[in-house]
Amino acid sequence: MSEAIKNRYDFVILFDVENGNPNGDPDAGNMPRVDPESGYGLVTDVCLKRKIRNYVETIKEDEKGYRIYIKENVPLNRSDKEAYDYVGVDSSSVKQKKKDDPDLDRKVRDFMCDNFFDIRTFGAVMTTFVKDKLNCGQVRGPVQLGFARSVEPILPQEVTITRVAITTENDAENKGTEMGRKYIVPYALYRAEGYISANLARKVTGFSEEDLELLWQAILNMFENDHSAARGKMAVRKLIIFKHDSELGCAPAHKLFDGIKVQRKKDVEIARGFNDYVVELASELPDGVTCICKE
């Protein structure tokens, strides 16, 4: 694999939704997630990382070094076992092998990081083989995302829908349509913040410059191959990146984030599009920090 990144990064993603549900809450009838105290909309980090994984899987198609660990219809145990097959260990010999080779855990971890992009990026808990005394340990990834929050409070709408497809023969004799409901957000602009540790990349996963460019590409396009009627029109509008001149960084992330102001235009009463907002960046940055904007 290529050499690990040498610079710390902090970044902000601005994405929006129009007439869709960006992240339904299964505990609330799949209603869009909302902070009950403030009314601001929420999108979980797990949701965003799923979109990134899906994009990488789509364009790389299990290319060597860019496989996805957490994916549909593939048990985690199956991927974990690959690492132990690679070092020639099974459940009956792992205890003795660890005595003979103190570096066994590191070799297994390195195999997983080398082969799976999402482990190299986000890390993973790979202790699914504990019962059989096989596990690949835990990896703390250099890329971390927080929950996204809407720029303004949202007001989800419940929309009644009908369908002509009837479920059972008995129902077909008594009615011609069935009723249903779906939730939408008419429009909302969301903001997510993330962090990339060059220190963890060097010490743990080997997250490289090539991985970094793929991550930026995946973030910018994470909704493009994931369109559905339920999610409406979703798009990443801006990716604002702060690059530090050192491995540990030149300024606190929160101070850099505070310099990004997203506000509705004064002459707009209700925002219904990205152009109804103004995005302002700090005019001055701390020494050793540069700002890169991608759209």
Distances (CA, A) of 15 to 18, 285, 295: 10, 24, 10
Q: How high is the pLDDT of residue 96?
A: 65
**Which of 89-93, 136-140, 142-146 has the largest mean confidence?**
142-146
Which residue type sits at 228? S
CA distance 127 to 36: 35
What is the per-residue pLDDT for 97? Answer: 67
Give the tens place of pLDDT for each residue, 201-254: 999 999 999 999 999 999 999 999 989 988 999 999 999 999 999 999 999 999
State mean pLDDT over 109-124.
94
pLDDT band, very low/low/confident/very high, at 1 (cuts 50, 70, 90): low
Looking up tokens 């419940």 gives 158
Lowest mean pLDDT among 139-143, 164-168, 285-289: 164-168
| Mean pLDDT confidence for 137-164 | 92
This prediction's pTM: 0.91
| DSSP 8-state assignment for residue 131 | G
205 and 3 Cβ atoms separated by less than 8 Å: no
Asked whether residue 137 carries a pLDDT value surpassing 60, the answer given is: yes
What does the pLDDT read at residue 108? 85
Measured CA to CA, the distance from residue 61 to residue 56 in angstroms comes to 8
Q: Is a pLDDT exceeding 80 seen at residue 95?
A: no
Q: Which of 184, 219, 205, 226 is nearest to 292 (CA)?
A: 219
